[in-house]
C-alpha cells in the first residue's frame, strides 16, 4: 500500500525531498504585527526576513485550521506535526483526520524544524520496507521518544517577542555575547542545555551531546537545518561524519516558521 506523508510547514522539507519522498505540506500562518503570511512555496523568505527584522510589534505563528488538514488528507498515511507543546497544529490535525474519511495516523513530533524532517525520513524508510501500519506507528513513536533536537541561535529577538524565551535570558545572551544551546525536552518544550561563546564551542558541544545521548548512529540519519548559514551547517556535518556512523547527514534550509524562530544564522540539529 502506498502510504502518504503529510507535514506542516514547520518541517524543513526541500522541494526535492518532497518530490522524492512524496510528502505534501499544510502551511502555518506567520504574523508580523497585523500582517499575515501563508508559509507556503510562494513566501519570499528574503523579503519576509527583512520585514521581520524591521517589525517592532508582536511576531508569531498560527496553526492551520482543522479543515486544512481534512482537505489535505486522502487515502491512508501519516501526518507529522510540530510539537503540541508549541502549537495547536497537532490538535487541529487530529480533528482534521477525524473529520476526513481516511485512516491517517497523526504523530506529535515533540519537536520542530529538523526534528520533523528526520521523522518524515524515518517514516519513508519504514514504508519502503513494507512494514504493517501498526508496526510503523509503534516504531515511529519509539523513535520520537528517543530522538534529540538541539539548536543554537545568533539572535533571540523573536523568541523573546513571542514569549518562548524570557526577556531576561535574551538580554543576558546579548549583553555577554553568549549563545544559548537550546533543545526540545521530553515533553517537546524548549529547554536550555548549555551556554557557548563561539562557534568552536558550539560545534564541540553538539558533538558531545550526540556522544552523551547514547543514541545508535550506525544506519541512522541526522538532519541539520540552517537559516542562511550553510557554511556552519557543513562544518557541523563534517564533524558528525568524522566521529559517527550515520547513514546520511542531511543539510536543509529552514522554511518560514523555522526561519521566524531560529532567525538569521540559526542552526538546528536532529538525530
CATH of the domain at 208: 3.30.1180.10
Task: Give mean pLDDT, residues 161-184.
Answer: 67
Whether residues 129 and 12 fall in one domain: yes
From the CA atom positions of the chain, what is the Rg in Å?
A: 18
Residues 153 and 76 in one domain: no
Report pTM: 0.93
The last residue of a domain, from among 115, 146, 177: 146
Same domain (yes/no): 188, 142: no
The residue among 127, 146, 165 that closes a domain is: 146
The whole-number average pLDDT for the span 56-74 is 93
Judgement on whether residues 93 and 223 belong to the same structural domain of the protein: no
pLDDT band at 164 (very low <50, low <70, confident <90, very high): low
What confidence score (pLDDT) does residue 87 get? 95
Domain that holds residue 52: 4-146
Alpha-helical runs (H) found in 81-166: 89-99, 114-128, 133-146, 157-161
Q: Are 206 and 133 in the same domain?
A: no
Number of structural domains in the chain:
2
Could you tell me which of 126, 125, 71 has the C-alpha nearest to residue 100?
71
- At residue 235, the pLDDT reads 98
Q: Are residues 165 and 245 in the same domain?
A: yes
Same domain, 265 and 172: yes
Distance of alpha carbon 107 from the chain centroid: 13
Question: Which is nearest to 224 in space by CA: 180, 268, 271?
Answer: 268
124 with 253, same domain?
no
CA–CA gap between residue 138 and residue 107 (Å, rounded): 11
Residues 17 and 53 in one domain: yes
Q: CA 188, 190, 191, 193 torsion: positive or negative?
A: positive
**Is the per-residue pLDDT at 163 higher than 70?**
no
Mean local confidence (pLDDT), 250-267 = 95
The pLDDT value given to residue 203: 95
At 100, which CATH number? 3.40.50.10170
Q: Which of 97, 131, 146 is the last residue of a domain?
A: 146
Amino acid at each position: 500500500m502506498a502510504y502518504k506523508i503529510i507535514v506542516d510547514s514547520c518541517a524543513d522539507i526541500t522541494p526535492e525531498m518532497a518530490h522524492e519522498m512524496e510528502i505534501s505540506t499544510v502551511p502555518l500562518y506567520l504574523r508580523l504585527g497585523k500582517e499575515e503570511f501563508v508559509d507556503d512555496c510562494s513566501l519570499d523568505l528574503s523579503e519576509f526576513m527583512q520585514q521581520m527584522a524591521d517589525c517592532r510589534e508582536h511576531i508569531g505563528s498560527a496553526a492551520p485550521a482543522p479543515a486544512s488538514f481534512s482537505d489535505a488528507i486522502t487515502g491512508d498515511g501519516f501526518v507529522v506535526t510540530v510539537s503540541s507543546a508549541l502549537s495547536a497544529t497537532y490538535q487541529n490535525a487530529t480533528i482534521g483526520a477525524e473529520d476526513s474519511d481516511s485512516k491517517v495516523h497523526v504523530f506529535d513530533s515533540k519537536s520542530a524544524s529538523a526534528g520533523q524532517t528526520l521523522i518524515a525520513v524515518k517514516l519513508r524508510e519504514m514504508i519502503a520496507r513494507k512494514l504493517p501500519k501498526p508496526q510503523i506507528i509503534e516504531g515511529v513513536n519509539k523513535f520520537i521518544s528517543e530522538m534529540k533536537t538541539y539548536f543554537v541561535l545568533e539572535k533571540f529577538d523573536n523568541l523573546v517577542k513571542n514569549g518562548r524565551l524570557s526577556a531576561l535570558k535574551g538580554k543576558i545572551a546579548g549583553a555577554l555575547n553568549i549563545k544559548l544551546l537550546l533543545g526540545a525536552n521530553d515533553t517537546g518544550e524548549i529547554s536550555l542545555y548549555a551556554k557557548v561563546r563561539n562557534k568552536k564551542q558550539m560545534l564541540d558541544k553538539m558533538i558531545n551531546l550526540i556522544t552523551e545521548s547514547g543514541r545508535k548512529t550506525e544506519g541512522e540519519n541526522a538532519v541539520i537545518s540552517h537559516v542562511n548559514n550553510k557554511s556552519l551547517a557543513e562544518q557541523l556535518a563534517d564533524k558528525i561524519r568524522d566521529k559517527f556512523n550515520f547513514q546520511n547527514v542531511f543539510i536543509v534550509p529552514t522554511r518560514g516558521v523555522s526561519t521566524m524562530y531560529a532567525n538569521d544564522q540559526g542552526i538546528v540539529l536532529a538525530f
